[in-house]
Structure 1
Amino acid sequence: MTSEVDLSTEQRTGPAGARVPARVPASRPRPGAAPRPGAAPDPGAAPDPRAAAARARRARLPDVLVGAVAALVGLALFSWRVGAPSPSRDEAVTVAVAGRGAGAIWRLVQDVDLVHAPFYFLVHVLFGSSVTVEQARWPSVLAAAATAPLLHGLARRLALPAVGPGTARAAGVAAAALWLVTPVVSRYAQEARPYALAALVATACTYLLVRAGASARRGWWVAYALGLPLLGALNTLALGVLLAHAGWLLASAPAVRRRGAAAAGAGLALAAPLLLAQSTQSGQVAFLLPPSPQQLPEHVRFALGSGAAVVAAAAAVAAALLRARARRLLLVGLLWGAAPVPLLWLLSQVHPLWTTRYLVAAVPGTCLLLASAVTLALPRARSPRRAVPVALPRRAVPAVLALALVAAVGVPGLRAQAHFRDARAGHLEDLRGAAEHLAAEARPGDGLLFVPDGEYRYRVLTQVYPDAVAGLRDLALARPAEPSATLVGVPVPVERLAAALAGVERVWVVGGPGPLVAVTAQDRETVRLLRRGYRLVQQRDLHDYGVKLYESTTPSAGA
């Protein structure tokens, strides 16, 4: 007999005693050696890291493409007619302040507008002293465009543990698309104020938190902690996103909770000095009043752009609460995109802070909340015979839900999108129209007054459109804005108003539309002097602006 050892030698005995070559066992390739072309993979070999990296890149490619398309669409949409709407007074203040030197900006924010200091410096660094309204809006345009791909990645990662890659990607696409088509996003994507930047940083912080929870790298936690003070610097109330972060951490593993709490605590500690400094200027929001109950639904309708979109969004949220599989996506959306609205309303009953622009940083959370409806759990097919025909439509359901949801919000909102880009009414204040009227109708030597004056900031018109008032005399201005380190300048004392009006035959008064509104003692004295020695001969009412011409009733215009 021939042993097994004998059969492994060079030759063995074949049929009829013939000698045939022995089989040579296949040799394993040397470690690191390239496999032979056409060779089958060795199941016992170690995984090739380069092949794994290539597969990972191929898997990420669709999401990279979606993010790039979302950013480009956002850039095109948000830059459309970016310079068309007349600036609001807040935007005009941005242009006026950012056009000053860095030292002048720093002196200003020691006493007022510290909350907007980062944005003022950013616009100043980008555009210098000759900044225009359109240029000052571009940081918001870019921030809003960059938020879209971040939302896609965030929604996909929040949904992925509960659903398949296809459904998670559909949820991400829905969140990004909802951000692009929601009318209030376009409104503040073209605002020369930091609200779109705050929404971007809030989204980035949430993305960093989710990435950190799924990674062993400490760098994600460090980036998250450093993002929080930046968020607080841009908008204090945007830190309300921490409520969603806390909810996500509570739903995570204990180790992730501990690291997240430490990172959030470190970030808030870094933000504390600036937040304390900002709190000393809380008088800037003293004009706000406690909101009425009807302002809650009014805000929701304004944000979504139409009543039809509100109904569609309510249906989507109800369906998500009942059937959404991606519960973490739903949780973060509820705590970030829904809860801050009633919470700010309740807080404002005690300390009034209610205004729509302070809730812009919550809109990304609203998009996540609505996108969770894409992950609805569907009933299983009862009959095995129908398994094949039902499988294909079921795979298409998330994409169909995403498309329907985006259309239900976007299509009714087209009218609001066009309105927000209207030259006169887009930003609710026709400051440009008031300047154009003065430029066309005023004569050199005419007087100029602002009623109400002071914190109502109508005088900012002279800083943004100086050519329109070049030949006019600002009768109630004692010191200009920049030398006095104020937003609109220092008015003359009340007792000097009569002397300032002496001998002036024509006086232009800029303020709100309709009758003159006297708020301060100086305003009341101005109105008294005008009624005693002048008569109204011309009035032009614009959006939130009124331009009135008064002529002296005596040749000497004596007071």
Structure 2
Amino acid sequence: MLTQPVTAVPLPAPADTVTTKRQPAWPNRLWLLPVLVTAVLGLWRASSIDLWWDELSTIDIARRPFSGIIATAGHVDAVHTVYYLFMHVWIILFGASPISVRLPSVLAMCGATACTAVIAEKLFDKRIGLTAAMIFALIPGVARYAQEARSYGFVVLGASAAFLLLLRALEQPSPRRWKIYGAILALTGALNLIALMAVVGHAVAVLVKARAESDDPATRRRDYLRPFVLAVGVAVLIDLPVIVFGAFEADSQLGDLSRATVSDLPSMWKDIGNSAPFSLLVLLALPLLLSHRKRGPELTILASATFPVVALWFVSLFGVGFDSFARYLLFVLPVWAIAIAAAVDRLWPARKAALIAVILVTAVAVTYDQLQIHGHLSHFKYDYPGASVLPEDYSAAAAIVHANYKAGDAGTFGQSVHIELGVNEYLPADEQLSDIFTQRTDAQENSLTPAYCTSTEACVDKAPDRVWMLETGFVAPYAVERADWSLALMLQYRTVQVWHVWGITVTLLERR
């Protein structure tokens, strides 16, 4: 009797042993959301918020020829030379309107948001990566300096990119990856020397990785420690000219600033993100990092988040004085955001709802600060909620001049280069007010200040029949002019009309 072959049918596996492919923790389409939030908050009112002192200096120096920028670096602002050279090309291509000169910083912060997501994913997982990126995008300090025509946004991008490239080099060590890491680190240091302190956190990451991957000391040195030290050393050598010039200029730029006190550390901490509630969230998160399931990444984030802050404060206690230096530490914000996301994951592991909740809590906590940093004159609150200076409404003063301007009008600005630059920035090209007391402009002096007339009477004699006097503060006319300038003007001119705007007194003078 013929029998049919029996085919064995596998029994279904028990329910608890069936393995399924894990789905992504978050839908892939959400990964653009943090970058979009960064862009929206960075561009919000970017064209209507008045330019302030530092941004005016950027435009002033970036408009000079390459040779002029290099010559200026020999006198002042050598540490910003790389950024000025970039902005020189940018202004040639796209102009110097407020939105134009701020757009590079917005783009840089968007790049830093993406880097934050990938760093957190590599250290932890995709869920924490997206959460950290969303928290970073909501930080008021990110929006504030995304729309600042200075190098801060590029420094945050450079520091986060260097961190990411380090993690890639540790994943698969190769000479090419270590060289790229060193190059980005050098570029970041050229933009802001203080950002080089981030290498302490990098060193912790290298030590953790070296210990985890190999028990052989020779292998650790060959694959991790030696190339890291070499990359950092080359980066410092590349930045040596900036370090030397910056050291020579430290006395002129920082010499009159007071040193820090013990109480400045908590004050500076809240200023870094331009939000006291956000800084409190960071303080609550940091202790939780040490109890996380992944001790190595936590140590890396903890060192990266705290060392630069404490180190710069300590240096200012006993060394060079810094005044409101929180903005020089913005490069710690990506790791601050990662710290919060990782800490929440520690409290409620694998709970998507908890991470969504912390994003919402962050958004609510910083809403008031976001509104404050997006005001018309908010850029004068340069370390909000800490230090600020008297706002000067250049656009309003320029509107008064424009409405009453006559061909040939000139100006005097009470030796305030900022008012001269700011008002002229908002005036049409054919209505620029030249200072009647300036003998050589700041550009001709390769500096940030002009050379004034040696003979007051001669300058006034050559001045036109109408002069606009713009002075700092809500003051009576002539209150802040030099005594000899005031006397000469009062003898030869009469006051036609006086206007007051925020931080500026505008007076129209007409020759008698």
**TM-score normalised over the length of structure 2:** 0.80
Contact (CA 8 Å) 2:402, 2:427: kept in 1 or not?
A: no
**Equivalent residue for 2:152, pick from 179, 189, 195:** 195
When structure 1 is superposed on structure 2, of 404-413 and 503-512 the one drifting more is: 503-512
Q: CA RMSD in A?
A: 3.6
Deviation at 1:200, TM superposition (A): 0.3
Q: Secondary structure at the match of 1:474?
A: coil
Task: Name the CA shift for 1:212/1:497 in 2 (closer, same or farther; >3 Å).
Answer: same
**1:227 & 1:517 partners in 2: Cα distance?**
51
Contact (CA 8 Å) 2:424, 2:432: kept in 1 or not?
A: no
**2:27 & 2:119 partners in 1: Cα distance?**
11
Counterpart residue identity of residue 71, structure 1 = V
When structure 1 is superposed on structure 2, of 198-207 and 401-410 the one drifting more is: 401-410
Contact (CA 8 Å) 2:437, 2:452: kept in 1 or not?
A: yes
- Identify the residue that residue 412 of structure 2 maps to in structure 1: 449
Please tell me whether residue 464 in structure 1 is matched to residue 425 in structure 2. Answer: yes
Task: Name the CA shift for 1:442/1:376 in 2 (closer, same or farther; >3 Å).
Answer: same
Contact (CA 8 Å) 1:347, 1:353: kept in 2 or not?
A: no
Deviation at 1:63, TM superposition (A): 9.0
**1:63 & 1:208 partners in 2: Cα distance?**
25
Deviation at 1:133, TM superposition (A): 2.2
Deviation at 1:261, TM superposition (A): 1.7
Contact (CA 8 Å) 1:435, 1:468: kept in 2 or not?
A: no
**1:513 & 1:59 partners in 2: Cα distance?**
61
Task: Name the CA shift for 1:313/1:535 in 2 (closer, same or farther; >3 Å).
Answer: farther
Counterpart residue identity of residue 232, structure 2 = A
Q: Secondary structure at the match of 2:293?
A: coil
% identical equivalent positions: 24
Task: Name the CA shift for 1:468/1:131 in 2 (closer, same or farther; >3 Å).
Answer: closer
Contact (CA 8 Å) 1:424, 1:433: kept in 2 or not?
A: no
Q: Secondary structure at the match of 1:538?
A: strand
Deviation at 1:171, TM superposition (A): 1.8
- Identify the residue that residue 215 of structure 2 maps to in structure 1: none
- Identify the residue that residue 350 of structure 2 maps to in structure 1: 395
Q: How does 1:43-58 map to 2 (within 5 A)?
A: none
Q: Secondary structure at the match of 1:395?
A: coil
**Equivalent residue for 1:372, pick from 342, 366, 370:** 342
**2:111 & 2:347 partners in 1: Cα distance?**
31
**1:105 & 1:517 partners in 2: Cα distance?**
36
Counterpart residue identity of residue 500, structure 1 = C
**Equivalent residue for 2:50, pick from 63, 75, 86:** 86
Please tell me whether residue 146 in structure 1 is matched to residue 124 in structure 2. Answer: no
Report how many aligned residue pairs link the two structures.
470
Contact (CA 8 Å) 1:92, 1:133: kept in 2 or not?
A: no
Q: Secondary structure at the match of 2:173?
A: coil
Task: Name the CA shift for 1:284/1:437 in 2 (closer, same or farther; >3 Å).
Answer: farther
Deviations 1:377-402 (A, max 9, x none): 66xxxxxxxxxxxxxxx532xx3332
**2:467 & 2:261 partners in 1: Cα distance?**
39
**Equivalent residue for 1:418, pick from 366, 371, 375:** 371
- Identify the residue that residue 318 of structure 1 maps to in structure 2: 287
Q: Secondary structure at the match of 2:32?
A: helix
**2:321 & 2:482 partners in 1: Cα distance?**
25
- Identify the residue that residue 100 of structure 1 maps to in structure 2: 64
Q: Secondary structure at the match of 1:339?
A: helix
Contact (CA 8 Å) 1:420, 1:427: kept in 2 or not?
A: no
**2:359 & 2:138 partners in 1: Cα distance?**
7
**1:421 & 1:101 partners in 2: Cα distance?**
33
Please tell me whether residue 217 in structure 1 is matched to residue 163 in structure 2. Answer: no
Contact (CA 8 Å) 1:332, 1:369: kept in 2 or not?
A: no
Gaps of at least 5 residues in structure 1 are 1-14, 23-54, 160-167, 379-393
**1:224 & 1:82 partners in 2: Cα distance?**
32
**2:456 & 2:294 partners in 1: Cα distance?**
66
Please tell me whether residue 538 in structure 1 is matched to residue 498 in structure 2. Answer: yes
Deviation at 1:484, TM superposition (A): 4.0
Contact (CA 8 Å) 1:89, 1:457: kept in 2 or not?
A: yes
**2:483 & 2:193 partners in 1: Cα distance?**
35
- Identify the residue that residue 305 of structure 2 maps to in structure 1: 337
When structure 1 is superposed on structure 2, of 500-509 and 413-422 the one drifting more is: 500-509
Deviation at 1:213, TM superposition (A): 1.1
Please tell me whether residue 157 in structure 1 is matched to residue 122 in structure 2. Answer: yes
Please tell me whether residue 132 in structure 1 is matched to residue 87 in structure 2. Answer: no
Counterpart residue identity of residue 376, structure 1 = R
**2:484 & 2:408 partners in 1: Cα distance?**
22
Q: How does 1:257-406 map to 2 (within 5 A)?
A: 257-282=225-250, 283-321=252-290, 323-349=291-317, 350-354=319-323, 355-376=325-346, 395-396=350-351, 399-406=352-359
Deviation at 1:444, TM superposition (A): 5.4
Counterpart residue identity of residue 474, structure 1 = D
**2:256 & 2:407 partners in 1: Cα distance?**
35
- Identify the residue that residue 437 of structure 1 maps to in structure 2: 400
Deviations 1:467-522 (A, max 9, x none): 388374512111234444334533223xx12432358776544343245999x9x9
Deviation at 1:445, TM superposition (A): 5.7
Gaps of at least 5 residues in structure 2 are 6-20, 211-219, 382-390
Task: Name the CA shift for 1:523/1:517 in 2 (closer, same or farther; >3 Å).
Answer: farther
Please tell me whether residue 510 in structure 1 is matched to residue 470 in structure 2. Answer: yes
